[in-house]
Amino acid sequence: MKSQRNISEFILLGLSYNQSIQIFCFVLFLLCYVALLAGNLLILVSIQWSPLFHQPMYYFLSHLSFIDICYTSTVTPKLITDLLAEKKTISYGNCMLQVLTMHFFGGTEIFILTAMAFDRYAAICKPLHYVIIMNRKRCHLLVLAAWAGGAIHAFPLFSTAIGLPFCAPNEIDHYFCDIFPLLKVACTDTYITGVLVIAFSGMVALVTFIVLFVSYGIILFTLRNLSAEGRRKALSTCWSHVTVVILFFGPVIFIYLRPPTTFPEDKIFALFYTIIAPMFNPLIYTLRNSEMKKAIRKVWCPSLF
């Protein structure tokens, strides 16, 4: 058995061996990545330069957009360049860094989405105390807690990955370095490690998902006491958030909350939380949000106002 230090690089098998499919995916994901960057930067700048930044919901949304950019940038540029490369390799150091950053930004996104759900709960269920509950200091603390939670989530997984011994073949059946594909190529018994991964990733995602949906159940129950206009406005923001939660958590739970193994379908599901969900977040949060659309027009087209 060789130490992992004797492995200088891994070979990523990517999405497909078919050249035509690879070219199609290159064009598709390049467009998706450009749209993702443009959309999230549009939201980030528009909120930062408008009065919406002082509202808790949009304060959290600006952080979500920033995290989406960081999160997907740990994987997507490498995926796009590999689609045109004859040999898809990643160095050992960059592979371990990818594991760390993926789970760090992914974990932070989970907790930011939780903070956004708490904000909607306070706004709808405790409207008279909303300003006190969601004061600026508490918003800062929630964001700080989200980043800290992301770090607490990521470092045990990173420590696990960096402690694995690897021996030939060093081929990873994925388009990026993740913990389960790495367990598959490790030359040691990984059962206990797999259980720890499920605890740190799968269970965290599942518990957070349940908490989010319970909170939205309470919100929906409370909406019956509001006027028709109040229900419409509350539902427009809630459904946007619920859509984002489903797009992100569904594939994550499918991949991480099961025995430590990999399937060919994992790569397709991984596309949802690494590219598709971050790309659609700007559309989901702006198309049905009149305040966001107004802020975008005001920042980017001031001559119209």
Residue by residue, pLDDT tens for the chain (305 residues) are: 344 456 788 888 888 788 888 899 999 999 999 999 999 998 898 888 888 888 898 899 999 999 999 999 999 999 999 998 888 899 999 999 999 999 999 999 999 989 988 998 888 888 888 889 999 999 999 999 999 999 998 998 898 888 888 876 788 888 898 888 888 888 877 777 878 777 777 788 888 888 888 888 888 777 776 667 666 766 666 777 788 888 888 888 888 877 766 677 788 888 888 898 888 888 887 766 777 777 777 777 766 55
**pLDDT number for residue 30:** 94
**pLDDT number for residue 139:** 93
**pLDDT number for residue 260:** 66
Task: Give the domain ranges of the chain.
Answer: 9-301
Q: How many CB atoms lie within 10 A of CB 277?
A: 26
Q: Residue type for 25, please? A: C
CA distance 161 to 149: 19
CA distance 119 to 176: 34
Please say whether the beta carbons of 100 and 107 come within 8 A: no
Q: How many CB atoms lie within 10 A of CB 105?
A: 23
Tell me which fold the domain 9-301 belongs to.
Answer: Rhopdopsin 7-helix transmembrane proteins (1.20.1070)
**pLDDT number for residue 303:** 62
